[in-house]
Amino acid sequence: MERRVHVVVLPYPSQGHINPLLQFAKRLASKGVKATLATTTYTLNSIRVQNVGVEPISDGFDEAGFAQAADEDTFLQSFKTNGSRTLSQLLQKYESSDFPVSCIVCDSFLPWALEVAKKHGVYGASFFTNSATVCVIFSYIYRGLISLPCKLEDMPLLFPGLPPLNLPDLPSFLKKPDSHPAYLKMKLNQYPNLDKADWIFANTFEALEGEAARGISELWPVKLIGPMVPSAYLDGKIKGDRGYGASLWKPLSEECTRWLEAKLPKSVVYVSFGSMVSLTPKQMEKGLVCDIVQPSTGTWSSWVLCDSLRGEFDSLGVPMAAVPQWADQLFVEEIWEVGVRAKEDEEGVMRKEAFVGCLKEVMEEERSKDIKKNSSKWREMAKKELSEGGSSIKSIGDFVEHLRLANKKGEAKEFMNGTD
């Protein structure tokens, strides 16, 4: 009897990372794989999903997670130490079961999990939640091909597969590397041990960022498997999959639904701050949005799109007004043409007037027609990538088939050795 493939999926414990990796686990489960999400003890009870197992590992702060740590460095070091130990224990738990682990798919923010995989003799894969464009840029920084901070006199930056990038196009980390040193270090630590990864996955898709991925394929041989959003909005092949099944905050689904149902179609602006960014008091004071929404039009809007939200906007065909803070949204306006970006002033603050102007442009002005048309176009392309014959679904299928064949070979070896 063929042994069932078992994949453990390990996300970084923030909402924008749990969402796409949990969705990937669902995709694997839909193909007959036993999928287990390994998440921190503190986030364990936030996850409610069918057909995917959930197991705890420790970051060393089991009572309150990151909020319990003194700072980012303390949390990340503790997570590496305690996470490595408890992930090893999880693999040992399954070694003597009917479902020994075949592969660990870890968030690229947790490269130590690849070391755990190799220690236990199982496959390891790294999953990048950022866009391919951002991964290209940080890969160049890691290899010393770009010096920080990036300055105006260094512009434009040139990368294979990408158009020339100027200072406003770059992630904020590159302009102010001292603003969040621990997270910048975490970004760069995604790359040193990628040679230990048997697969590298990215939550994007061929039509959107294929050229960017191919531009550095020798340095970053990635498989594009996105967008990882609930199946109901794409191919509809996973029954009942209309939401992620994870929320680190108390969900207000019923209240929000009732409120939305009372509004006219396309009359709501959605503002997302992301799950890891904290805006300065000055930005909060100067960037408050006034009431400009007209009943006959509408859009979704974001100050800061966390990684998974970028995929959601691409997949749902929703126009954007964006204020990039850390990483994503570089191509929202100029390349993908699905929205506009509010510009910061000389003090690095996005003023209310600038943001309101972006909202009006997306919702009311002549350009809004083209933006909505392009948003719908990308939605259809995203659906195609995860439908039968699409490149993303093919990459996922190839991954599963490789693991199945490896399982068969392992069983044959055991039989030949007389251990079965």
CA pair distance 8, 6, nearest whole angstrom: 7
Please, what sign has the CA dihedral across residues 146, 149, 154, 156?
positive
Give dist(CA 391, CA 223) in Å, integer: 9
The Cα 193–Cα 337 span in angstroms is 35
Instruction: State the Cα–Cα distance between residues 141 and 190, nearest whole angstrom.
Output: 12
Question: Rounded to an integer, what is the distance from CA 32 to the centroid of its chain?
Answer: 24
CA 140 to chain centre: 20
What is the DSSP-derived secondary structure letter of residue 320?
E
6 included as an active-site residue: no
Residue 180 a catalytic site member: no
What's the Cα-to-Cα distance from 413 to each of 302, 408, 417, rounded to whole Å?
A: 54, 9, 6
Task: Please report where in the chains the tokens 């039989």 appear, as a residue.
Answer: 415
Q: Which residue type is seen at 211?
A: E
Neighbour order of strands in the sheet with 6-10: 53-57, 34-40, 6-10, 103-107, 123-128, 199-202, 223-224
Please report, as a single letter, which amino acid is at residue 162. Answer: L
- Tokens for 374, please give them: 């392009």
* E strands in 94-171: 103-107, 123-128
In this structure, how many other beta carbons lie within 10 angstroms of the beta carbon of residue 299? 25
With H, G, I as helix, E, B as strand and everything else as coil, classify residue 35: strand
Within 206-350, where are the H helices? Answer: 206-215, 253-261, 281-286, 307-316
Report how far residue 192's alpha carbon sits from residue 185's, in angstroms, rounded to the nearest whole number: 12
Q: Which of 6, 17, 120, 180 is the catalytic position?
A: 17
Between CA 371 and CA 369 the distance in angstroms is 5
Per the residue annotation, which of 107, 169, 241, 314 is the catalytic one?
107
In this structure, the number of other CB atoms found within 10 A of the CB of residue 342 comes to 23
Token pair recorded at residue 138: 């940080």
Catalytic center residues: 17, 107
